[in-house]
Amino acid sequence: MSHAIQDQRPVRARRARAGGSLTRGGLPRWAPAATAVLSTLLGCAAGLAFGLQSKVQWGLIAALLFVAATYASSAVVENTRQAKDRVATSVIWVCFLLAVIPLVSLLWTTLSRGMKVLTGHFLTHSMNGVTGFEPGGGVYHALLGTVQQVALATLIAAPIGLLTAVYLVEYGKGRLAKAVTFFVDVMTGIPSIVAGLFILTTWNLMLGFGPSGFAGAMALSILMMPVVVRSTEEMLKLVPNELREAALALGVPKWRMILKVVLPTAVGGISTGLMLAVARIAGETAPIMLLVFGSQLINGNPFEGAQSSLPLYIWEQYKVGSDASYDRAWAAALVLIAFVMILNLVARGIARWKAPKTGR
């Protein structure tokens, strides 16, 4: 028996090589690129020939042609398994392009329209004394407001969220944990305007405080908390149980084990989750409108008086509807994107710096 099996192996290997699947004979390496170029050209030609208006239709024709041509050419030159493989690959590429095109076009529009007025002056001045229709003015008051509101919201939501996640993963069992999980899920679904209204009725109407950056930050923290809890929970669950046991077996109390072993091991993922949460609230407009009210002036005190914020500023400028205000809106959008991007890079830096080190 064993002889027969041993004898067969080399034969099969040889046959496979003779069949060419090891050398991947057939289509050259540039074939996919050539197919792509060809099908794009054909797609454009077909679009022109049939007088199709929408460029989307051109693109779809090109994409379909690409997939079909890939399958046909591979099935003819190679075998059907290779053809299926190539079709799967090309479908992934088409989907990738479909997903990337809107992103690139968004970035391009924001960049090209926003760069026009994005200067040092724009970043360091408020709209004080500038009417919506004339050029000039700046975004400083809104940037300051966004930074302060987001920072305050993070200060509120991050500790509560982290501690909740630690409770759920390390301690929680039974009714209370189930209830907490349920309410976190419910909170995930709260529309931002509802969070704003909640703070408006309690903080402003019942307790009688005026509009302030802090009120906005509280609403933002309601939106941020469930995201932090969820992402941190997932990251903590990824920490291997063996590490927890190793620490406990040393006679380390549980809270120290969590602080010194579990959290440091998961810190990379936790900070990424925090950043996603920050990115989510940095673009919120509705609660800011209700609670921070908006202002054309610089107000450096988030605890008193109306402030502005970048999303609100963009909306206001868009509403004015003049050429100058449109330019300002796009420039502010660019500032907002850059703000989130920089935060993201900082978080990645921290994650990489703190992540478990490997190697010698």
Partner 1 sequence: MAKRIDVSGLSAFYGTHKAIDDISMTVEPHSVTAFIGPSGCGKSTFLRTLNRMHEVTPGGRVEGKVLLDDENLYGPGVDPVAVRRTVGMVFQRPNPFPTMSIFENVAAGLRLNGGHRRQDLSDIVERSLRGANLWNEVKDRLHKPGSGLSGGQQQRLCIARAIAVEPEVLLMDEPCSALDPISTLAIEDLIGELKERFTIVIVTHNMQQAARVSDRTAFFNLAAVGQPGKLIEIDETDRIFSNPSVQATEDYISGRFG
Q: Where does this chain bind partner 1 (CB under 8 A)?
A: 173, 240, 242-254, 256-257, 260-261, 264-265, 354, 356-360
Collect all residues with Cβ–Cβ distance below 8 Å to 161 and sequence separation of at least 6.
224, 225, 226, 227, 228, 229, 232, 277
Min. distance of Cβ 346 from partner 1 in angstroms? 20
Packed helices 213-238 and 192-199: angle between N→C axes, nearest 10 degrees: 130
CB atoms closer than 10 angstroms to residue 130: 17
Report whether 93 contacts 40 (CB < 8 A).
no
Report whether 311 contacts 283 (CB < 8 A).
yes
For partner 1, the closer of residues 261 and 278 by Cβ is 261
Min. distance of Cβ 27 from partner 1 in angstroms? 43
- What are 212's two structure tokens? 């302030």
Min. distance of Cβ 240 from partner 1 in angstroms? 8
- How far apart, in whole angstroms, are the C-alpha atoms of residue 298 and residue 288? 16
For partner 1, the closer of residues 130 and 350 by Cβ is 350
For partner 1, the closer of residues 348 and 354 by Cβ is 354
For partner 1, the closer of residues 206 and 238 by Cβ is 238
- How far apart, in whole angstroms, are the C-alpha atoms of residue 236 and residue 169? 7
Min. distance of Cβ 264 from partner 1 in angstroms? 4
- How far apart, in whole angstroms, are the C-alpha atoms of residue 100 and residue 102? 6
Min. distance of Cβ 354 from partner 1 in angstroms? 8
- For 39-48, letters b (16+ CB in 10 Å) and e give bbeebeebbe
Min. distance of Cβ 220 from partner 1 in angstroms? 32
